[in-house]
Amino acid sequence: MYPDHSTHLAGLYTNVISLFPRKYCTLDHLAIFAAMHIDIISVLPELLESPFAHSILKRAKDKGLLQIEVHPLRKWAVNAYGQVDDYQYGGGAGMVMMCEPLVNAIESLSATKKFDEIIYLTPDGERFNQKTANRLSLQQNLLLICGHYKGIDERVREHYVTKEISVGDYVLSGGELPAAILADAIGRLLPGVLNDETSALFDSFQDNLLAPPVYTRPAEFRGWKVPDILLSGDPKKISEWRHDMALKRTEERRPDILEE
């Protein structure tokens, strides 16, 4: 499925997979990436403490491959009470995040680094998928804005936001969980983050296919046996079986992604 290079280079293939199918990836497509920076603006930064303090994202941070900084929006509040929202013009239920705190936050952070994308997490944004994660993993600096209440003032979206992303057709209390999803999906693609970097090459949705079935020891449990092909020791046949199973599973469960 991919050239037989070192583990490190195999990890790099993940970053270009949205641009080149695996079988066409060559060393000419690869580049060495510096540590990625993800800045997040949030009304409730405490919600993001746990996701970034454990497992793969913690490993990425500890290795110096990914830097994530969460900024409390109230740092740029319009008054001593920490106000960052107000009633919406035209009436209606729900508060709106104000222009001034958000713009001050964006401009302050932009003065320290140039952001490749300023992303607003919102239910009416572009649907997040693996291809988008792949493309964003090629960037150096990302700024994520977590929505809250009824959303952010439209003028911020018009003049500062470069990309709007939704994690699904449903509404959450805020953009913190979607921000964690983006950071995880992107961070695990960075070379050196996963223990076995080739693993990400076979994730669901890479090459528009779901992942094939997987098995581990024992070879037989309660009469349920692992397919013989996986015990054959024949890499070519195993690879072909996995591709066939991935295609079959995708046709049965998500035929829509085969049409993309």
**Tens digit of pLDDT for each residue in 110-141?**
999 999 999 999 999 999 999 999 999 999 99
What's this model's pTM, rounded to 2 decimal places?
0.83
pLDDT score for 68: 97
User: From CA 232, how far away is CA 28, in angstroms rounded?
Assistant: 34
**Tens digit of pLDDT for each residue in 183-219?**
999 999 999 898 765 566 556 566 788 888 999 999 9
For the domain made up of 34-187, give the CATH fold.
Alpha/beta knot (3.40.1280)
- Strand, helix or coil for residue 250: helix
pLDDT score for 164: 98
Q: What is the mean pLDDT of the chain?
A: 87
User: From CA 208, how far away is CA 64, in angstroms rounded?
Assistant: 31
- The stretch 33-39 carries a mean pLDDT of 87
DSSP 61-102: HHTTSEEEEEEEGGGG-SSTT---EEEPTT--SSEEE-HHHH
Question: What CATH architecture does domain 209-258 belong to?
Answer: Orthogonal Bundle (1.10)
- The stretch 63-67 carries a mean pLDDT of 95
pLDDT score for 54: 93
The helix/strand count (H/E) of the chain reads as 8, 9
Which sequence spans correspond to the domains of the chain?
34-187, 209-258
Q: Which amino acid is it at 199? A: S
pLDDT band, residue 36 (cuts 50/70/90):
very high
pLDDT score for 26: 37
Evaluate if residue 1 carries a pLDDT over 90: no
| Residue 26 exposed, middle or buried by CB count within 10 Å (0-12, 13-18, 19+) | exposed
Neighbours of 220 (CB within 10 A): 9
